[in-house]
Amino acid sequence: MRRFSANDVLDGHINFRAYPHRYLFVYGDARGKENRFVMPRLLAAVEALESQAWELVNVLGNNGNFFAVMRRPDTPPTP
């Protein structure tokens, strides 16, 4: 799987240090929430991944849905 909800990132459900791919896709999850809470949660997930050496490639938005594309550097960080 290459896409994850911002909630899963922030709740720590995935070990991204062991993630086998270089790119991943994070989406804002608006289930049962107002759209105004989606972007702040998505950006918090981006910052959490940046603290694990992931880089933000792009943020996209369409009709109230927001997505972030993240990239890991060529050499994964040592734990």
**pTM for the whole structure:** 0.82
Confidence (pLDDT) at 34: 62
- Helices (H), ranges, the chain: 6-11, 38-50
**Of the candidates 66, 15, 21, 77, which has an alpha carbon nearest to the alpha carbon of residue 43?**
66
**Of the candidates 27, 25, 15, which has an alpha carbon nearest to the alpha carbon of residue 52?**
15
Alpha-carbon span 41 to 76, nearest angstrom = 25
Q: What is the pLDDT along the chain (79 residues), one digit of tens a residue?
A: 789 999 999 998 888 888 889 999 999 876 656 666 788 999 999 999 999 999 999 999 887 788 999 999 886 556 6
Alpha-carbon span 39 to 76, nearest angstrom = 27
